[in-house]
Amino acid sequence: MRAYFDHNATTPIEPEVLDAMLPYLRHEFGNASSIHTPGQRARAAVERARAQVAALIAALPEEIIFTSGGTESDNLAILGAVRANRSSRRHIITTAIEHHAVLHPCRALGQESFDITYLPVDQHGFVTADSLRTALRPDTLLVSIMHANNETGAIQPISELAAFAHEAGALFHTDAVQSAGKISCDVHALGVDLLSLSAHKFYGPKGVGALFLKTGVALKPLLHGGHNFGEPRPGTENVAGIVGLGAAAHFATKHMQNDAVQIRALRDQIESSMLAEFSREICLPNFPLLHEAQSDGARMPNTTNFSFQGVDGEAMVIALDLAGFSCSTGSACSSGTVEPSHVLLALGRSPQMARGGLRISLGRHNTNAEVDSLVRVLIDVVRRLRALSPDAVESVR
């Protein structure tokens, strides 16, 4: 048996999405910029997809820019908005828990003499309105705060945060790569100027995404070329990929609500089993612990994350993989050393616990039987690895 629990890394393509794409990899090969019939058919497919993506986030079709994925959308949003709106404003605010697709362009701007503020998060992984209010300055140009965190699943109060940013005259971008297609991401309700999303996180193909750019917001392109100078994203369109993104957006519009109910129940089953088995000093939840009434809107239905005392996250991922389960750790392996997750460190976890994070991210094809087996195997893996660990402390239970 092989069971996949790493849907925040990527998801399988839905058959309906693949079927929509295949003609554009076979006979419908026109260039969407050509004026002849095959070109017009490709253009029509791209525009249909644009409308489907717009519908997913309640935007206008002309507010959708296709990109090569979440990383490009984040870079285009941050670098493009800052460069187009250069003024006396030299300050950018983001958070300590962003994906590197946001942190690295911000760092690059820091090297170009912009001032960058990294907001902290509370112990549940939330950015507080107070910390943003305190950080905002008269020269703040852009605030970029992610919608849902890829490691903890914490959902930030974006509409409230965006309202504060706007009061200060700043633009607001949100990285919705982990939320779009899984929960409602209505750009009006969120009140954002820019929003990034990526097809492969919601049952679409890899290497294609979109940036929502609110009407009237200026953006400088990162790439140059194409028919019209200054096009936001020039180059021949990835027609099959864009069609796949559109089909995935359409599929999500139909299914995400029901899927979330089913997926949340499976996630809760994992969490209650692990917390019943181990004491809190052995098994530390890295997801927001909230009252039931609050939790639905503040956590992704599909993401759970634990650190296990005395156990290395990577060792757990490898042991689970050998047993047929694909999970992940937030830690990035670089030059032979496993760095603790910057997200878990920001939550206040010790470096040891931040290296021990195990992320389980569920999807629409996971079953009760898979979850039962995962829990059984995970309990066994944690016990075995702790028995071998010189750092393992005794449970007080």
Contact residues: ligand PLP, CB under 6 A: 69-71, 74, 99, 101, 146, 150, 175, 177-178, 198, 209
Pinpoint the alpha helices (H) of 323-367: 342-346, 351-355
Residue 174 and residue 190 in contact, taking contact as beta carbons nearer than 8 Å: yes
> Among all residues, whose Cβ is closest to ligand PLP?
70
Q: How far apart are CA 274 and CA 283, in angstroms?
A: 8
CB 117, CB 146: distance < 8 Å: no
Q: Can you tell me the distance from the alpha carbon of 325 to that of 151, in angstroms, rounded to the nearest whole number?
A: 18
Paired tokens of 152: 């903890």
CB of 251 to ligand PLP, least distance (A): 18
Distance between CA 328 and CA 313 in Å, rounded? 8
Measured from the CB atom, the residue of 119 and 136 that comes closer to ligand PLP is 119
Between 82 and 102, name the residue whose CB sits nearer to ligand PLP. 102
CB 42 → ligand PLP: shortest distance, Å?
23
Q: Which of 96, 133, 91 is nearest to 110 (CA)?
A: 91
Shortest Cβ distance from residue 244 to ligand PLP (Å)? 13
Assess whether 327 carries a catalytic annotation: no
CB of 175 to ligand PLP, least distance (A): 5
Structure tokens at 303: 């993401």
Q: Which is nearer to ligand PLP, 70 or 191 (CB)?
A: 70
Other Cβ atoms less than 10 A from the Cβ of 59: the count is 22
Nearer to ligand PLP, 332 or 393 (CB): 332
CB of 40 to ligand PLP, least distance (A): 29
Nearer to ligand PLP, 209 or 356 (CB): 209
Instruction: Return the SS3 of 121.
Output: coil
> Which position among 106, 185, 283, 333 bears the catalytic label?
333
The residues, any chain, with a CB within 8 Å of residue 19's CB and separated by 6 or more, are none
Catalytic positions, written as ranges: 333
